[in-house]
Amino acid sequence: MKISLIWEHLYMVFWAVVFSLMAGLPLGVLTYFYPKARKAILWVVDLFQTIPSLALLGIIMVFLGAGKVTVITGLTLYSLLPIVRNTYLGLREVDPALKEAARGMGMSRGYQLLHVELPLASPVIFTGIRIAAVNAVGTAVFAIFVGGGGLGSMLYNGIRIQNMSMILKGTGVLMLMAILFDFGMGRVEVFLNRKTAGKSRVSAGYAD
Amino acid sequence: MIQFEHVVKRYGKNTILHDLNFTIPDGQFVVLIGPSGCGKTTSLKMINRLIEPDEGRILIDGEDYAGKNPVNLRRHIGYVIQQIGLFPNMTVAQNISVVPRLLGQDKAACDKKVHELLEMVDLPYEQYAHKYPNELSGGQQQRIGVLRALAASPPIVLMDEPFGALDPMTREVLQDEVKRLQRKLHKTIVFVTHDMGEALKMADIIIFMNGGQIEQMAPPEKMLEAPASDLVRSFLGKHQLSDSNPLYVEDFMRTNPYTVDFHRGVLECAEKMARSGVDTLLVTDDDDHYLGTVSIRDIKLKGREAGSIEPLISTEVRTVCLGDDAQESVNYLLTSGESYVVVLRPDQTVAGIITKNSMAKVVANTLWGDDK
């Protein structure tokens, strides 16, 4: 097994999550600010999720050609839903009393968003990122069909030459990767939760 | 100065405020009170434009802020809410500094202000400034809430039932503190509450609202003296000590006094007195009619030869009837040195007695509430 496959895989997942965060966070804020846009935005990001991942990558390949760009674009669209939805939910669930206090004290809308609402919504938003990342690790397997490489090639080759140990190795690495993502980012969530709840000695990685 | 001119607010078909007019002079502690849904909180939130009026204007120092960006106005009006609303992700110092920071003051100036304010409420800076809100008790949190509202030295502070969620002890302490701060800093405070005790204690002027209109606007003393309506009177309730509702003897009376039938023997009587810890008993006949009293002194003096208590009955103790004005009896007890007055029903049976003790209890309840 080549380490480079793992890096390739991580590379695609990483950029997909980064791009979907860059797009999803503003979209989430928009859905929160503008009730009229809410339904439309949530409907569209929901729609991306209903397209089978392999089909989505295929459709994008028609436009962008084979390669990592196609994979990253597909994964980005795929990751939008959890991020947009959790951003919206996180902002919505901030205690109304805090929102009123912020407004009543004379914070502008943007200031209130940046200094009160986003920090307090950050644990929920981060949950969205975690879900997106863990999903992307699995979905990125399909990269092999659109020329993106990654750990999908191990599975694909393993199936083709009926090499069970190869399949299992690839699967094991993918599972481990997903578990590590889930666990590591879960720790960050605990940290954020403690921070927004206002505990003095915040330390990442320790929950009690 | 805050002026409401013909302010109307509607939610759908419901009119919350009907043509509201009043003026709040500078430096006054004004309390808005009334039954729920009377529009007091709505009125308060119109001052910092969290709610906009449908008609009429609200002038602050003669200026109408409608149509201007409310953000700047709000930074110059302190705001304290019932839910406290300290930002949990910020320390005490950061919470207090919110408005000064919004106004562009630098960190050093903010820090100085935090020092100064914490000192004013006896929360040492070193100990509290860097704590987070949820490490504080409810009372401490709302103290910080009040300080946060004062941090940018606004001339006006709005308080929306700020102590409603606190326990009675803490509430008392904070009321005193806020009143003290107001006297010291000469702020105009507009304060919403539904607790008349709080209103009477804090206010220079009470605005009593009902159904979106002002029922009465008066200083506490005036309101107590002359409530404008029955609703105001019922809100004043136990706080009112006026002669507009006279007190009757039954208001001061203790029921179930110790009585004895006139057939009983002296020894039995003496024993009952000893058991009940009293020195006199009320004597009744077979039909429970009041006959008089018998005292331990008379039993000791003449009991031996009498055998029965009938000859010992004294009718010297003053009797009054249910429905009599209490004042006379109260005065009598206070001046004569007698220890009690017997209260009779119209059919001459015993209803109860008034003692100095039972009087004192009523007065205490009136002053400090009826805690059973």
Q: Which two tokens stand for residue A77?
A: 């669209």
B64 in helix, strand or coil? Answer: strand
B58-64 LR contacts (CB < 8 Å, sep 24+)? B58/B2, B58/B3, B58/B4, B58/B5, B58/B7, B59/B1, B59/B2, B59/B3, B59/B5, B60/B1, B60/B2, B60/B3, B60/B156, B61/B1, B62/B1, B62/B3
For residues B88 and B85, what is the distance between their CA atoms, to the nearest angstrom?
8
For residues B104 and B117, what is the distance between their CA atoms, to the nearest angstrom?
19
CB burial of residue B92 (10 Å; 0-12, 13-18, 19+): buried
Domain boundaries, chain B: 2-239, 249-368
pLDDT of residue A199: 60
How far are the Cα atoms of A23, A38, B228 from residue A123, in angstroms, in the given order? 18, 21, 54
Nearest to A97 among B83, B91, B132 (CB): B83
For residues B137 and B10, what is the distance between their CA atoms, to the nearest angstrom?
38
Residues of A with CB under 8 A from a CB of B: 95, 97-98, 100-108, 111, 115-116, 119-120, 195-200
DSSP state of A148: -
pLDDT of residue B372: 45
Nearest to A101 among B81, B131, B135 (CB): B81
Tell me whether residues B90 and A101 touch, CB distance under 8 A: no
Residues of chain A contacting B99 with CB distance shorter than 8 Å: 105-106
CB contact B140 to A (< 8 Å): no
Tell me whether residues A100 and B87 touch, CB distance under 8 A: no
Nearest to B132 among A100, A102, A198 (CB): A198
pLDDT of residue B258: 86
Closest alpha carbon to B345 in B247, B255, B279? B255
- pLDDT-derived band of residue A204, with 50, 70 and 90 as boundaries? very low
For residues B3 and A193, what is the distance between their CA atoms, to the nearest angstrom?
45
Residue of A105, A107, A199 for testing the chain B interface, max B β-carbons within 10 Å: A105
CB contact B128 to A (< 8 Å): no
Tens of pLDDT, residue by residue over A27-71, are: 999 999 999 999 999 999 999 989 998 999 999 999 999 899 999
**Beta B55-60 vs B2-11: how paired, if at all?**
antiparallel
Residues of chain B contacting A110 with CB distance shorter than 8 Å: none
CB contact B227 to A (< 8 Å): no
Give the nearest chain B residue to A122 (CA atoms): B89
CB contact B88 to A (< 8 Å): yes
A to B CB pairs, distance under 8 Å? 77
Torsion of CA B351, B352, B353, B358, to 10 degrees: -130
Name the B residues in 2-31 with CB < 8 Å from any A CB. Answer: none
Tell me whether residues B73 and A106 touch, CB distance under 8 A: yes
Residues of chain B contacting A98 with CB distance shorter than 8 Å: 85, 87-88
pLDDT of residue A201: 45
Tell me whether residues B98 and A197 touch, CB distance under 8 A: no
Contacts of B124 (CB under 8 A, 6+ apart): B118
pLDDT of residue B360: 82
- Check if CATH label 1.20.1250.20 holds for domain B249-368: no
> Distance from A32 to chain B by nearest Cα, in Å?
19
Tell me whether residues B132 and A199 touch, CB distance under 8 A: yes
Tell me whether residues A95 and B83 touch, CB distance under 8 A: yes
Residues of chain A contacting B133 with CB distance shorter than 8 Å: 198
> Distance from A110 to chain B by nearest Cα, in Å?
12
> Distance from A98 to chain B by nearest Cα, in Å?
5
Over range A189-195, report the average pLDDT. Answer: 88
Over range A186-201, report the average pLDDT. Answer: 80
For domain B2-239, the CATH superfamily is: P-loop containing nucleotide triphosphate hydrolases (3.40.50.300)
**Phi and psi, residue B289, nearest 5°:** -70, 145
For residues B229 and B55, is the Cβ–Cβ distance under 8 A? Answer: no
pLDDT of residue B7: 94
CB contact B99 to A (< 8 Å): yes
Tens of pLDDT, residue by residue over B24-40, are: 999 999 999 999 889 99
pLDDT of residue B281: 87
Beta bridge partner(s), residue B30: B190, B205
Q: Which domains does chain A have, with CATH numbers?
A: 3-196 (1.10.3720.10)
pLDDT of residue B346: 85
Q: Which two tokens stand for residue A54?
A: 């392999």
Residues of chain A contacting B48 with CB distance shorter than 8 Å: 104
Tell me whether residues B132 and A200 touch, CB distance under 8 A: yes
Residues of chain B contacting A105 with CB distance shorter than 8 Å: 74-75, 79, 98-99, 102, 148
How far are the Cα atoms of B64, B316, B318, B370 from residue B262, in angstroms, in the given order? 82, 17, 19, 37
For residues B262 and B306, is the Cβ–Cβ distance under 8 A? Answer: no
pLDDT of residue B308: 78
Give the nearest chain A residue to B71 (CA atoms): A106
pLDDT of residue B370: 59
Task: Give the residues of chain B that fall short of pLDDT 50.
Answer: 372
